[in-house]
């Protein structure tokens, strides 16, 4: 059986030399650089960032330039909290980069389907098509043409520091809601929190609620999104979604989140997990690599499933969460295509996995996860007990916007569960 490369093990993870992309929270980062010097071919590359740690995209661009001295790549990192709006504005204005980071589907502001339908993206070739997971073609294709090249398979669950938990008297990560609530109390009594939430950052609130929905909605009803599309259910009429938002409120009430969570930014996640004041957070699996750089060796990060409701089964989110797309207006399509083909080569795929901490985009269920950060979710991955990121499948970005802002409103008491779900329904039907 193949094994996960040693650099994804918890032992080697602590020494990882490069930061990972926190794909759904947007906690990756870099400053824009103009790689290479004058002459030869030059193209531009835009991706999301939200701190000063180097993004895997930056690292790969630097590596490509080093091995292709006739090529210059100007990288243009954009803050994650306004990334979707920024690239749409740039595409509409005709000044977007040649290569841009996108997401599969339609439910995010950077979703590739509406961008492709608007004529902003260039169809990609066989290389990108070969990386699309079977059965997920609908979130990559328009009229049979592929518009995004996936690089990863990301697990959306809780990234937790086992070391911190043990030091705080939590010997085993909670497997039930009762155990989780008790652990929240244990951490709160010591001035910390079991979970850390970037409440002021919509993407982290949205990911947290979606992570809970995996067990309350998509585990019991895997085809829930299709039922909503068919009009046979609604968010407001769904007990699963009511339970999801109630669980989110219950976590807040039980002091599972850190004090001041409602106003916290992405830095609260890095600081809380690295400094040991919090144990876990709903962030993409590869985030453990980045967080580990700022944490002591004993932190011992792992990916843990969120407890199912009483009588339910554990389910995590799992899908390719980010893609790369080519600007249809680019005058450097040949150079961009060459770079994307290079990214798809096994050596670069392996390098991306090493520096991001995410899983390969295919055949990940054949890997041996023993001793890795994925050991505790390995049974779920092998049993395919995972659901795609819901908002990738939702029909427009407004649904996810309603979830994010609604979740923030729940924390402040300005919104009720019914308010949030009705707003999501209205956005779906708009």
Task: List, for residues 316-371, the tens digit of each pLDDT value.
Answer: 999 888 899 999 999 999 999 999 999 999 888 888 887 888 887 767 777 888 98
Q: Which of 188, 241, 218, 230 is nearest to 313 (CA)?
A: 218
Which residues is 327 bridged to in the sheet? 121
What average pLDDT does this structure show over 210-221? 96
The whole-model pTM stands at: 0.78
Distance of alpha carbon 300 from its chain centroid, rounded?
21
End-to-end CA distance of the chain: 48
Query: How far, in Å, CA of 150 to CA of 360, rounded?
Result: 10
Contact 245, 417 (CB under 8 A): yes
Q: Is 393 exposed, middle or buried (0-12, 13-18, 19+ CB in 10 A)?
A: buried
**pLDDT band at 8; cut points 50, 70, 90:** very low
Residue with tokens 């870099």: 30
Contact 263, 199 (CB under 8 A): yes
What pLDDT score does 372 carry?
Answer: 86
What pLDDT score does 51 carry?
Answer: 56
Instruction: Number of helices (H) and strands (E) in the chain: give both, helices first.
Output: 18, 15
**Residue 44 structure tokens:** 């531009």
Q: State the average pLDDT for the chain.
A: 87
**pLDDT band at 402; cut points 50, 70, 90:** very high
What average pLDDT does this structure show over 286-302? 83
Q: What is the DSSP letter of 234?
A: -
What average pLDDT does this structure show over 225-232? 96
**Residue 75 structure tokens:** 């990288």
Q: Is the pLDDT of residue 13 over 50?
A: no
- Residues composing the chain: 430
**Residue 387 structure tokens:** 């659901």
Q: Is the pLDDT of residue 48 over 50?
A: yes
**Residue 346 structure tokens:** 């096994």
């Amino acid at each position: 059986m193949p094994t996960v490369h040693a650099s994804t093990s918890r032992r080697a993870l602590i020494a990882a030399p490069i930061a990972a992309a926190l794909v759904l929270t947007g906690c990756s980062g870099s400053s824009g650089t103009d790689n290479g010097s004058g002459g030869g071919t030059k193209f531009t590359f835009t991706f999301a960032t939200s701190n000063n740690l180097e993004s895997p995209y930056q690292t790969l661009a630097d590596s490509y330039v080093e091995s292709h001295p006739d090529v210059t790549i100007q990288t243009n990192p954009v803050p994650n909290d306004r990334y979707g709006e920024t690239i749409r504005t740039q595409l509409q204005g005709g000044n977007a980069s040649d290569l841009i980071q996108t997401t599969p589907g339609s439910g995010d502001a950077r979703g590739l389907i509406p961008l492709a339908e608007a004529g902003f993206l260039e169809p990609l070739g066989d290389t990108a098509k070969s990386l699309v997971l079977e059965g997920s073609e609908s979130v990559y294709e328009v009229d049979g043409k592929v518009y995004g090249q996936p690089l990863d398979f990301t697990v959306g669950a809780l990234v937790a520091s086992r070391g911190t938990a043990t030091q705080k008297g939590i010997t085993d990560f909670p497997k039930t809601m009762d155990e989780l609530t008790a652990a929240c109390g244990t951490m709160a009594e010591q001035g910390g929190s079991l979970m850390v939430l970037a409440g002021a950052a919509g993407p982290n609130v949205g990911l947290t609620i979606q992570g809970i929905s995996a067990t309350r909605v998509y585990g019991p009803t895997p085809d829930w999104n299709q039922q909503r599309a068919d009009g046979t259910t609604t968010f407001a009429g769904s007990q699963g979604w009511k339970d999801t938002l109630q669980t989110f409120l219950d976590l807040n009430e039980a002091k599972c989140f850190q004090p001041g969570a409602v106003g916290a930014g992405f830095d609260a996640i890095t600081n809380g997990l690295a400094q040991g004041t919090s144990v876990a957070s709903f962030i993409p699996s590869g985030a453990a690599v980045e967080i580990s750089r700022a944490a002591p060796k004993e932190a011992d990060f792992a990916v843990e499933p969120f407890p199912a409701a009483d009588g339910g089964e554990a389910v995590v989110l799992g899908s390719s969460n980010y893609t790369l797309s080519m600007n249809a207006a680019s005058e450097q399509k040949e150079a961009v295509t060459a770079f994307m083909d290079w990214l798809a080569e096994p050596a670069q795929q392996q390098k991306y996995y090493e520096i991001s901490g995410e899983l390969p985009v295919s055949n990940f269920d054949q890997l041996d996860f023993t001793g890795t950060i994925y050991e505790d979710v390995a049974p779920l991955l092998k049993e395919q007990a995972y659901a795609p990121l819901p908002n990738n499948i939702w029909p427009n970005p407004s649904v996810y916007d309603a979830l994010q802002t609604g979740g923030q409103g729940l924390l402040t008491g300005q919104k009720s569960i019914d308010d949030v779900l009705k707003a999501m329904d209205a956005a779906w039907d708009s």
